[in-house]
Amino acid sequence: MTQQHGTVTIYVGMADEGVDVWRPVAAQEQRDSVYRIVEQPYDRVTEKWQFEPGDVVTCERRDLDDGPALIATALAAQ
């Protein structure tokens, strides 16, 4: 999990791909395992993310091909 300027990289599922595809996105930790996806370039015409910039999501650690990662799994309870 890369950390830059108060943000970390989390991974959001891509919808309508047919297989598991993970998109790295910048997020800020709100509390334990809860992150807010920060505003960033997102072309809704060419990509459909499971969660969008501004969403507050719950993440869990999973092992991906490149190693451990934080995966957005659900919208967080407010």
Query: Using one digit for the tens of pLDDT, what is the confidence trace for 21-77?
Result: 999 999 999 999 999 999 999 998 999 999 999 999 999 999 998 899 999 999 998
What is 16-68 written as a DSSP string?
Answer: T-SS--EEEEEEEEEETTEEEEPP----TTT--BSS-TT-EEEEEEEEETTEE
Residue-range domain boundaries for the chain: 3-75
In this prediction, residues 2-12 reach a mean pLDDT of 81
> In this predicted structure, what is the pLDDT of residue 5?
63
Asked whether the predicted pLDDT for residue 19 surpasses 60, the reply is yes
**Is 37:31 a contact under the CB 8 Å cutoff?**
no
Asked whether the predicted pLDDT for residue 4 surpasses 80, the reply is no
Angle, vertex CA 72, rays to CA 70 and CA 73, nearest 5: 120
- CA–CA distance, 66 with 42 (Å, rounded to integer): 23
